[in-house]
Structure 1
Amino acid sequence: MAAPTLILKPHTAWAAAWQRCLSVAPEAFTDDRVRNYWNGAWQADGRVLAATTPVDGTPIAGPPRLDGAAATSAVRAALDQHRAWRHVPLPERRAKVTAALDALSEHRELLALLLVWEIGKPWRLTQADVDRAIDGVRWYVEQIDRMLVDRTPLPGPVSNIASWNYPMSVLVHAMLVQALAGNAVIAKTPTDGGVACLTLATALAAREGLPLTLVSGSGGELSEALVRAPEIGCVSFVGGRDTGARVATAVADLGKRHILEQEGLNTWGIWNYTDWPALATQIRKTFDYGKQRCTAYPRFVVQRSSFDAFLAAYLPAVRALRLGHPLAVESPDDPLPELDFGPLINAAKAKELGDQVAEAIERGAVPLHRGDLAEARFLPGQDTSAYLPPVTLLNPPPASPLHHAEPFGPVDTIVLVDTEAELLAAMNASNGALVATLSCDDRQTFDRLAPQVRAFKVGHGKPRSRGDRDELFGGFGASWRGAFVGGDLLVRAVTEGPTGERLPGNFPDYHLMPD
């Protein structure tokens, strides 16, 4: 039987979302572009780059990129804001942040819809991204009094440079907590997506008097202002290792406070394990958003003697994955589809990852599963160049990037091992990661092996996440630099405490002790 013809869900088109932005925040959106926000005003500056959505190639708003001189002016203006804001009483700051959260809640669905179009995240996940930002900051509003006892804001504003995949729950969340703690806040919109969502969120918060700056531009051109400028009190970076390494070098040279979260190859080890039904329920969840997450698990390290049982649990879960256009439905009254993932962030990334898969297979990797876009949910004739079906490879060759680096896409690799030493070596292939999981039937075996896995969080038979609120988060090795964050520490990282205070983190003379 032929698959039904799909249509775009009514009232979800990009043009409709854009018109809603013009109505809600006319100060930030013009007929054909978004504006930068600095010096307490929306600025019609910057060179606008053309942009298209990864969902189906529809033209969308591009970032208005500033040059270095304009960014320097924005940072200097932010310092003036900071000097005033740091003296605003905490009850007033709390009231203003709470009002901003109420405004974000009012426009929750529009923020989520913008994320669908800008970064290709399915509806269920964009809503979760918005909700985590709002709910997370509300928790800080409730806890902030005790967190700020004997603490003061930093000498200068906090500069945020983050990746495109979690604009609300990572970037906006951080911005509002930093402002709540008494700092002016600067944020650079990610080059690859999220500018309209971040512009709307900033407009809603700025109306409540929060000292925010939102600018667009290339990292290379703006780094002198956003990273090296003496006005900056702290640099918070979330992104890849190459850019992160350059930022790390700059802040280390300047002795500047910093939080740098970088990619790592998160691994899932299988050793002396038999609860395959439990594993099967977890596999599909690991593909949320096509593994375009810093806490995704793209590598499984499997005991060779259990490989057949592992595949029997793994393959049905992967074959059940649903992908396609996040807003495509069969009839106008249908709810939006429950997809595991949609496109990658752009067509170039899909091609790059597809080429890496092809090269790995040519050099000896064994394809265990390759999905087919013909089975995905698409509109008739739509552009599908940013989509990549799930792929699973056995034993990627050492020369392949898939052997040692995070693919940031729906590609799993499996490595077979025979000894515990091989297990640990394979799980530590990228010299540090944010999370890992080890599935062992015996808790004592897990307790013995887990401390030797170079990931900040190691789960026993279940995935670990970035976490928030009162859960500490960080990384090991090349996956993290600077202060660890979470709960009180997220506030401590952007405030000053007693003289001689040391924040937990992998600074040169600090070693985090296990619990």
Structure 2
Amino acid sequence: MTDYPSLHLLIGGEKLAGAGRNTQDVLNPATGEAIGTLPLATPADLDTALDNAAMGFAAWRAAAPEKRASVLTGAAQLLRERAGTIAEIMTREQGKPLAEAKGETIYGAMLLEFYAGECKRIYGRTMPRPAGKRAEVRYEPVGPIAAFAPWNFPVINIARKVGGPIAAGCSVIVKPSEETPASALATVQCLLDAGLPPEVCQVVFGVPDEVSRHLMASPIIRKISFTGSTAVGKHLAALAAEDLKRTTMELGGHGPVLIFGDADIDRALDTMAPNAFRNAGQVCVSPTRFIVEEPVFDKFRDGFIERVKALKVGNGLEDGVQMGPMANSRGPDQIERMVSDAVEHGAHLDTGGERIGNQGYFYAPTVLSQVPDNAEIMNEEPFGPVAIINRYAGEEEMLAEANRLPYGLAAYAWSNDPVRQERLTQQIEAGMIAINAGGVSAVDMPFGGVKWSGHGHEDGHEGVMACMVAKSVHVG
């Protein structure tokens, strides 16, 4: 078993710890025990990170596309080589099963590989003009970026936050979650070991509001990238507006899943039941609200419950475990409260609804059915191992429910009618839609939402262009 590594800040390529800095314990969510001590950045540390970001941008924006691509490709190769070690670290500090952690690390490598190719696909254009005149559109890196990443996917989120900026020619200061620091540090270390100049990427930790306010107050920072809750996203967007900094916001969701009577119900169940409890439901695109057409409601609900009861829950380092603990103590507290509220409003508790064991942050995979609209869990993202299954009369009513909330990140639909499929893709209000499938993300596709789920994109070509600004050039 890999030892949990020592923790540090990473500023200008220097590993900083101790020296009178405040610290925070990192806990293993399977046991609740401390496994590491994380140093928190001082204001002076943040100023040093800002100075490095300014120097890094000046140099990296001039780097040839081939150089940027080489670094990203090399980092991806190192991620693949170190995937086993990084996965063990991730499971120990985040809780997800080891197989999921390794898959996430490989996905992070794939994302960096895609971004490497995009380095050579940042195209401008020349406009037609009379002889002797010229008009061009050029794309240039926006500048140093402050990026804030959550704990639920500690490698993928970092690859997203730094990969696009590095491909575009930006520098970046990234603040990962203080609950999953080692995974983030290991990911950035792959970039440095692949030849990224140390001034280009800094890693800092600290009290989130203090770090964000300090970095965003600096004129050095030109853009903010944040993944997290809608409430915090609105707060950061307001801070960014004070200096008109650009923003990318990937915020909360409450994924509707429309199940129609003409769907392959068994295939839908085999795909969506485990998907709902991936990473203990702590996924922004998790399918949470199952909107089931009346004729197939009983079959779908009963089949879903059967599959959920068969899930093996335990320490993610153990063989065969399909769902680990929630990542922190806040998770079970919130789910317990939301499930209790739903039952008090008349919901039926089909399975789960309780904590597991007497250590760590385990909560049983839970299914609620016939949940009324006024229950909190029908209106706020649970972000935990809970699925809601309700019956509806038909397509019009189902679409109304899918679009009822102010969130619009991911949505899913199951139907074998091609005309209906096209209709659904047009009428469902979401940034990402899967039809007869359980996945909405791919390294070459934009990742982002609409309405309260945010704006801007990561991944795909759009993930690089979000780090660029357009410049019009006229020559007469």
Give me the whole-angstrom Cα distance separating, in 1, the residues matched to 2:26 and 2:13: 27
1:301 deviation in Å? 1.0
Residue of structure 2 equivalent to 1:76: 51
Q: What is the 5 A alignment of 1:175-214?
A: 175-191=162-178, 193-207=179-193, 208-210=195-197, 211-214=200-203
User: 2:240 matched to 1:251?
Assistant: yes
Residue of structure 2 equivalent to 1:510: none
Contact 1:130 1:169 in 2 (8 A): yes
1:298 deviation in Å? 1.0
Give me the whole-angstrom Cα distance separating, in 1, the residues matched to 2:37 and 2:188: 16
1:106 deviation in Å? 2.9
Paired residue type of 1:115 = M
Contact 1:279 1:313 in 2 (8 A): no
1:126 deviation in Å? 0.6
User: 2:108 matched to 1:126?
Assistant: no
Q: What is the 5 A alignment of 1:417-456?
A: 417-456=392-431
1:479 deviation in Å? 0.3
Structure 2 counterpart SS, 1:166: coil
Cα gap change, 1:148 to 1:198, in 2 (>3 Å): farther
Residue of structure 2 equivalent to 1:494: 467
1:153 deviation in Å? 4.3
Residue of structure 1 equivalent to 2:130: none
Structure 2 counterpart SS, 1:146: coil
1:359 deviation in Å? 2.4
Structure 1 counterpart SS, 2:287: coil
Aligned-residue sequence identity (percent) comes to 24
Paired residue type of 2:208 = G
Match of 1:166 among 131, 153, 157: 153
Residue range with higher mean Cα deviation, 395-404 or 143-152: 143-152
Residue of structure 1 equivalent to 2:337: 355
Structure 1 counterpart SS, 2:62: coil
Structure 2 counterpart SS, 1:499: strand
Paired residue type of 1:171 = I
Paired residue type of 1:202 = V
User: 2:237 matched to 1:262?
Assistant: no
Give me the whole-angstrom Cα distance separating, in 2, the residues matched to 1:103 and 1:268: 37
Residue of structure 2 equivalent to 1:402: 377
Give me the whole-angstrom Cα distance separating, in 1, the residues matched to 2:241 and 2:407: 19
Residue of structure 1 equivalent to 2:210: 221
User: 2:307 matched to 1:320?
Assistant: no
Give me the whole-angstrom Cα distance separating, in 2, the residues matched to 1:459 and 1:60: 39
Deviations, residues 295-317 of structure 1 (Å, cap 9, x unaligned) = 11011011233221222332222
Contact 1:67 1:221 in 2 (8 A): no
Give me the whole-angstrom Cα distance separating, in 2, the residues matched to 1:69 and 1:397: 51
Residue of structure 2 equivalent to 1:293: 283
Structure 1 counterpart SS, 2:419: helix
Residue of structure 1 equivalent to 2:348: 366
Give me the whole-angstrom Cα distance separating, in 2, the residues matched to 1:98 and 1:463: 28
Residue range with higher mean Cα deviation, 68-77 or 218-227: 68-77
Give me the whole-angstrom Cα distance separating, in 2, the residues matched to 1:103 and 1:460: 35
Cα root mean square deviation, aligned: 2.3
Q: What is the 5 A alignment of 1:46-57?
A: 46-57=21-32
Deviations, residues 23-73 of structure 1 (Å, cap 9, x unaligned) = xxxxxx4xxxx1111134222253111231102223112432224453234
Structure 1 counterpart SS, 2:339: helix
Paired residue type of 2:270 = T
Residue of structure 2 equivalent to 1:97: 72
Give me the whole-angstrom Cα distance separating, in 2, the residues matched to 1:347 and 1:484: 30
Structure 1 counterpart SS, 2:350: strand
Give me the whole-angstrom Cα distance separating, in 2, the residues matched to 1:117 and 1:201: 16
Give me the whole-angstrom Cα distance separating, in 1, the residues matched to 2:302 and 2:375: 27
Deviations, residues 462-482 of structure 1 (Å, cap 9, x unaligned) = 22423222x12321210012x
Contact 2:366 2:386 in 1 (8 A): yes
Q: What is the 5 A alignment of 1:7-46?
A: 12=1, 16-18=2-4, 21=5, 29=6, 34-44=7-17, 46=21
Give me the whole-angstrom Cα distance separating, in 2, the residues matched to 1:407 and 1:438: 20
Deviations, residues 191-247 of structure 1 (Å, cap 9, x unaligned) = 3x2201222332342242432100001221112233342211221111111111111
Give me the whole-angstrom Cα distance separating, in 2, the residues matched to 1:185 and 1:81: 9
Residue of structure 2 equivalent to 1:108: 83
Residue of structure 1 equivalent to 2:301: 311
Paired residue type of 1:197 = S
Cα gap change, 1:439 to 1:98, in 2 (>3 Å): closer
Deviations, residues 245-274 of structure 1 (Å, cap 9, x unaligned) = 111222234322211000111110123335
- List alignment gaps of at least 5 residues for structure 2: 126-137
The TM-score normalised by the length of structure 2 is: 0.89
User: 2:447 matched to 1:473?
Assistant: yes
Paired residue type of 1:478 = W
Cα gap change, 1:115 to 1:153, in 2 (>3 Å): farther
Give me the whole-angstrom Cα distance separating, in 2, the residues matched to 1:420 and 1:176: 40
User: 2:328 matched to 1:346?
Assistant: yes
Residue of structure 1 equivalent to 2:33: 58
Paired residue type of 1:113 = E
Cα gap change, 1:99 to 1:450, in 2 (>3 Å): closer
Give me the whole-angstrom Cα distance separating, in 1, the residues matched to 2:468 and 2:59: 16
Paired residue type of 1:43 = L
Contact 2:142 2:467 in 1 (8 A): no
Cα gap change, 1:102 to 1:418, in 2 (>3 Å): closer
Residue range with higher mean Cα deviation, 298-307 or 60-69: 60-69
Structure 2 counterpart SS, 1:61: strand
Deviations, residues 265-298 of structure 1 (Å, cap 9, x unaligned) = 1110123335222222113331211111111101
Equivalenced residues, count = 455
Contact 1:370 1:389 in 2 (8 A): yes
The TM-score normalised by the length of structure 1 is: 0.82
1:415 deviation in Å? 2.3
Give me the whole-angstrom Cα distance separating, in 2, the residues matched to 1:141 and 1:390: 39
Give me the whole-angstrom Cα distance separating, in 2, the residues matched to 1:92 and 1:447: 42
1:129 deviation in Å? 0.9
1:148 deviation in Å? 5.2
